[in-house]
């Protein structure tokens, strides 16, 4: 009987909502250099370029075309109806899990709709574009605001909470992530090493696929609702 579940989601869970993944042939990392737009060094070198990259992502996320899909909705339903504990850990910076109703949620790579001031460290909401002229509403400094996103070389957020849940869970499920970016790609080993069952739901097998007990390949909008119904009827 499963009582504690940790779910890791990646870009694949939002793909059917119209948000590009990173490593597909038409993915974000084919048109942008990671070190230019997703590293602290890139931001120091050309903050305007980095702001533009995330401003584009934010505008798209807030456009009327982008909505949560059946996979996000099913995961929110699981949290609401499951008798045990569910922690959803997402690498995604969109807010589609929240829009679907998930609340037990960790954004380990940050959030597109938040900004952080490098001067006073305040984290606040943002829906408009950011620029080098943006002024922090807390400390009034200029050119100190950055997207609240974890870049390459930076520490993912809330790691102690995530690791504790991974070591206590009896089921770990990875959904729509390619298994290329650590530490998230190592969660399967951490959970399995402590006796958890492990399941991958993905369009294509991930780089860490052989570490999972079970794998189902297909669209998240189909696989996730099916799996949620199975778990709720156990
Ligand atoms: P990737 O682009 O690396 O992988 C997306 C995964 O989703 C692949 O395994 C696809 O097969 C799968 N996929 C695509 N469409 C799907 C669908 N409709 N249903 C199910 N699966 C689908 O994205 P991530 O693994 O999330 O980090 O990338 C991890 C991190 O790398 C991101 O958080 C980001 C990136 O660099 C930072 O920017 C720090």
Q: Give the pLDDT of residue 6.
A: 98
79's enclosing H/E stretch is helix 70-81
Name residues contacting ligand 1 (CB within 6 A).
10-12, 15-16, 21-24, 27, 38, 91, 109, 150, 176-178, 180-181, 202-204, 206, 219-220
Residues with Cβ within 8 Å of 104's Cβ and at least 6 positions away in sequence, in order, are 79, 85, 86, 87, 88
From 15, 69, 70, 176, give the residue whose CB has the most ligand 1 atoms within 8 Å, as the site to mutate: 176
Q: What is the Rg, in whole angstroms, of the alpha carbon atoms belonging to the chain?
A: 18
The encoded tokens of residue 18 equal: 């119209």
pTM of the predicted structure, to 2 decimals: 0.97
| Cα 49 to chain centroid, rounded | 23
In angstroms, how far is CA 220 from the centroid of its own chain?
A: 15
Atom 25 (ligand 1): residue with closest C-alpha? 177
Compute, in angstroms, the gap from residue 165 CA to the centroid of ligand 1: 22
* Per-residue confidence (pLDDT) for residue 221, from 0 to 100: 98
Helix (H) or strand (E) holding 217, with range, is strand 214-217
Q: Which of 51, 72, 97, 109 is catalytic?
A: 109
pLDDT, residue 1, reads: 86
Per-residue pLDDT, 15: 98
Ligand 1 center to residue 28 CA distance, Å?
10
pLDDT (tens place) for every residue of the chain, 234 residues total: 899 999 999 999 999 999 999 999 889 988 889 999 999 999 999 999 999 999 999 999 999 999 999 999 999 999 999 999 999 999 999 999 999 999 999 999 999 999 999 999 999 999 999 999 999 999 999 989 999 999 999 999 999 999 999 999 999 999 999 999 999 999 999 999 999 999 999 999 999 999 999 999 999 999 999 999 999 999
Decide if 201 contacts 176 (C-beta within 8 A).
yes
The C-alpha atoms of residue 234 and residue 226 are separated, in whole angstroms, by: 13
Would you state the pLDDT for residue 160?
A: 98
DSSP H/E element including 115:
strand 110-117
Whether 109 is catalytic is: yes
Q: Whose CA is closest to 88, among 108, 68, 69?
A: 108
Q: Coil, strand or helix: which one is 131?
A: coil
């Amino acid at each position: 009987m499963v009582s504690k579940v940790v779910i890791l989601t990646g870009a694949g869970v939002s793909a059917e909502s119209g948000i590009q993944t990173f490593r597909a042939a038409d993915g974000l990392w084919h048109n942008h250099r990671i070190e230019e737009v997703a590293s602290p060094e890139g931001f120091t070198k050309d903050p305007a370029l980095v702001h533009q990259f995330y401003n584009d992502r934010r505008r798209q996320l807030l456009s009327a075309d982008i909505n949560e899909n059946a996979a996000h909705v099913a995961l929110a339903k699981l949290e609401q109806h499951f008798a045990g504990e569910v922690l959803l850990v997402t690498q995604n910076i969109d807010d589609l899990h929240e829009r679907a109703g998930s609340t037990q949620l960790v954004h380990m790579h940050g959030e597109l709709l938040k900004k952080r001031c490098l001067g006073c460290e305040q984290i606040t909401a943002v829906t408009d574009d950011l620029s080098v002229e943006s002024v922090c509403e807390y400390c009034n400094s200029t050119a100190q605001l950055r997207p609240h996103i974890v870049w390459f070389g930076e520490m993912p957020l809330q790691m102690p909470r995530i690791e504790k849940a991974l070591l206590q869970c009896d089921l770990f499920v990875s959904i729509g992530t390619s298994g290329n970016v650590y530490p998230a790609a190592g969660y399967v080993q951490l959970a399995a090493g402590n006796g958890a069952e492990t399941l991958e739901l993905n369009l294509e097998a991930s780089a860490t696929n052989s570490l999972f007990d079970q794998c189902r390949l297909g669209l998240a909008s189909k696989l996730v609702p099916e799996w949620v119904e199975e778990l709720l009827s156990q």
